[in-house]
């Protein structure tokens, strides 16, 4: 698990942390340059060379792997003494970060690693600690010293600190640490139990549940857009690179940081409210990247559906609530009462089935359809068998029987009642 805390380094420590980030950025770019040169030297034609330039790397030169570049760090420290000021394991994890990106690129086929510009490298990692670095209200970082920390929640008993990642936010004016803790205990998977609800995400209503409750969508970016535009206009009038320009850029970064914090706080509170409402939750498996490329991309990015689903899954796991995603295709075009197709455009906000006459709000009908698909998935996987005999009296079981067509006279699955 990861716990994020705010730290307050002094002026000397902040200067040292910024210097470390720039040193790590240089190591990252140098290692990436070696990687790209080796790849480019293997792309030339066999029978001729380019008229402009050609990479002269021997054919027997091995690939610059993680272990080779890591082993070259001691030699680089002799040539560049400023590398010795940074903790050795921090430089090793920087090389590891590059090769993790390279391996991810090879798997998905896109997203080649890019060079980091000034200010784009915002974190580094201390991969291991012999003792607990947190002592009271300070955290001891190697070669940095003790830094005050806002320990708003203590480390749970039985857990030990595995690694610490130092984060720079708001153009290096706010600092955080992400503490990774671990324990030898094994956490079993959460079984399907109790009352189940389905949720539908949208722009008019941020969240609509199958039980009829809904949550309005706060417009975090649009509500602060006027003030943000004013700050950006002030920053644009300053001479680029001056101290006043840097101060104006910090104000803009703080505003963006505040918007992101308000959005995340809303997502976490909404996720906890869902867990209080039902012990089994089904949601749509949305194509988040596709939503950010349409005509409503600004509103979709402001709503941050992907972040909400990730946080909801984490909160459900932490609180022992079963969470699963279902196929989102056609949830708003299918009647949840008789499973007949009921096509309608985006401007139609009411669901009216022409087959059975079922009327409800469009988003609630989609949420009920999500619940139906989630229950069908758990039935097909045999997960409902993990319940005890008390399941007979639990809320939501009747709905499961309804969808399966059991115990309801004069009705067949997928057809309206006569």
Mean pLDDT, consecutive 10-residue stretches, the chain (418 aa), reads 94 96 96 91 70 73 92 93 94 96 93 93 93 91 95 89 95 94 84 89 90 90 93 95 95 95 95 92 90 86 93 92 90 84 82 84 89 87 52 36 35 34
Could you tell me if residue 312 is left (phi over 0), alpha (psi between -120 and 50 degrees) or otherwise beta?
alpha
Task: Give yes or no for a contact between 91 and 30, defined as CB atoms under 8 angstroms apart.
Answer: no
CA distance linking residue 177 with residue 161, whole number of Å? 12
CA distance linking residue 394 with residue 62, whole number of Å? 63
Q: What pLDDT was estimated at residue 330?
A: 85
- Angle in degrees, 0-180, between the axes of helices 397-404 and 362-380, rounded to the nearest 10: 80
Structure tokens that stand for 347 in this block: 């401007």
Domain spans, the chain: 2-42+58-182, 196-404
| Distance spanning both ends of the chain, measured CA to CA | 54
CA distance linking residue 219 with residue 203, whole number of Å? 10
Write the DSSP symbol of residue 383: G
CA distance linking residue 63 with residue 77, whole number of Å? 22
Of the candidates 263, 260, 256, 262, which has an alpha carbon nearest to the alpha carbon of residue 232?
A: 256
Of the candidates 275, 362, 380, 377, which has an alpha carbon nearest to the alpha carbon of residue 326?
A: 377
- Angle in degrees, 0-180, between the axes of helices 88-108 and 11-40, rounded to the nearest 10: 40
Q: Parallel, antiparallel, or unpaired for β 214-216 and 196-201?
A: unpaired
Q: What pLDDT was estimated at residue 47?
A: 67
384 contact partners, CB below 8 Å, separation of at least 6: 192, 378, 391, 400
Structure tokens that stand for 179 in this block: 């503490």
Write the DSSP symbol of residue 194: S
Of the candidates 266, 278, 389, 264, which has an alpha carbon nearest to the alpha carbon of residue 323?
A: 278
Q: What pLDDT was estimated at residue 376?
A: 87
> What is 297-363 written as a DSSP string?
HHHHHHHTHHHHHHHHHHHHHHHT-EEEEE--TTSSSB-TTT--B----TT--EEE-TTT--EEEHH
Q: What pLDDT was estimated at residue 44?
A: 65
311 contact partners, CB below 8 Å, separation of at least 6: 264, 267, 268, 271
Write the DSSP symbol of residue 242: S
Q: How far is CA 346 from CA 17, 209, 287, 362, 404, in A?
A: 50, 19, 18, 10, 30
Q: How many Å is the Cα radius of gyration of the chain?
A: 27
Residue holding tokens 């040193």? 23
Task: Give yes or no for a contact between 281 and 273, defined as CB atoms under 8 angstroms apart.
Answer: no
């Amino acid at each position: 698990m990861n716990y994020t805390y705010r730290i307050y380094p002094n002026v000397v420590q902040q200067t040292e942390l910024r210097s470390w980030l720039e040193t790590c950025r240089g190591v990252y770019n140098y290692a990436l340059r070696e990687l790209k040169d080796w790849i480019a030297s293997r792309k030339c034609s066999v029978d001729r060379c380019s008229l402009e330039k050609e990479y002269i790397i021997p054919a027997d030169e091995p690939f610059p792997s993680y272990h080779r570049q890591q082993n070259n760090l001691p030699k680089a420290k002799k040539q560049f003494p400023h590398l010795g000021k940074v903790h050795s394991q921090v430089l090793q994890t920087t090389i590891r970060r590059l090769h993790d990106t390279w391996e991810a690129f090879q798997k998905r086929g896109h997203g080649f690693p890019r060079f980091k510009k000034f200010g784009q490298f915002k974190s580094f990692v201390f991969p291991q600690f012999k003792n607990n670095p947190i002592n009271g209200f300070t955290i001891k970082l190697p070669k940095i010293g003790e830094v005050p920390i806002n320990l708003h929640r203590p480390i749970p008993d039985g857990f030990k600190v595995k690694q610490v990642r130092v984060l720079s936010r708001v153009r290096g004016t706010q600092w955080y640490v992400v503490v990774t803790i671990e324990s030898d205990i094994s956490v079993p998977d959460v079984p399907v139990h109790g009352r189940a609800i389905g949720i539908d995400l949208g722009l008019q209503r941020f969240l609509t549940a199958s039980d009829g409750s809904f949550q309005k969508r706060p417009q975090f970016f649009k509500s602060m857009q006027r003030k943000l535009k004013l700050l950006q206009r002030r920053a644009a009038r300053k001479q680029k690179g001056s101290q006043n320009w840097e101060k104006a850029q910090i104000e803009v970064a703080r505003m963006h940081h505040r918007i992101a914090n308000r959005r995340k706080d809303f997502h976490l509170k909404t996720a906890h409210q869902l867990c209080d409402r039902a012990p089994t939750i089904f949601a749509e498996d949305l194509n988040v990247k596709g939503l950010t490329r349409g005509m409503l991309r600004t509103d979709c990015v402001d709503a941050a559906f992907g972040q909400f689903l990730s946080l909801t899954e984490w909160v459900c796991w932490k609180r022992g609530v079963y969470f699963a995603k279902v196929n989102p295709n056609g949830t708003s075009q299918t009647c949840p009462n008789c499973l007949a197709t009921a096509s309608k455009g985006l401007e139609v906000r009411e669901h009216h089935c022409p087959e059975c006459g079922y009327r409800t709000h469009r988003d609630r009908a989609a949420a009920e359809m999500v619940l139906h698909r989630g229950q069908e998935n758990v039935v097909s996987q045999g997960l409902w068998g993990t319940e005890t005999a008390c399941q007979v009296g639990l809320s939501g079981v009747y709905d499961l029987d309804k969808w399966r067509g059991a115990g309801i006279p004069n009705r067949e699955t997928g057809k309206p009642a006569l």
